[in-house]
Amino acid sequence: MSVVFLADSAADIDVFLQADAEPESSWVFLALGIIIALLSLTIYSIIFPGQNLPVISDLDTFGSLKGQVWLFILGMLVGGLMILSTLLTEVTRE
């Protein structure tokens, strides 16, 4: 089997180099937002080296969950009971 390579032609320019659609505007804003955020972080670290970010650094991401492992254990127990009850009810179902 051979692979056919086609030479570029002038007709291709109109076909391939002309975009015929735009990405959804939400994606444009998302990309712009990420770029601006990264730029801001970089500029901040240059202007105020070694300093915490205002507001954001004061947020305690998941720190307030410390000591709350029982919430998670409760979830695990619910999951385990769902599996167990499924097994029991399905096996004993007539």
Chain residues binding other proteins by CB under 8 A are: 61-63, 65-67, 69, 72-73, 75-76, 79-80, 82-83, 86-87, 90, 93
Find the shortest distance in angstroms from Cβ 90 to other proteins: 4
**Rounded least distance, CB 4 to other proteins, Å:** 14
* Widest CA span in the chain: 73
What amino acid is encoded at 61 in this protein?
T
Query: Is 65 in contact with 71 (CB distance < 8 Å)?
Result: yes
SS3 84: helix
Q: Residue 39 or 77: which CB sits closer to other proteins?
A: 77
**Least separation in angstroms between CB 68 and other proteins:** 9
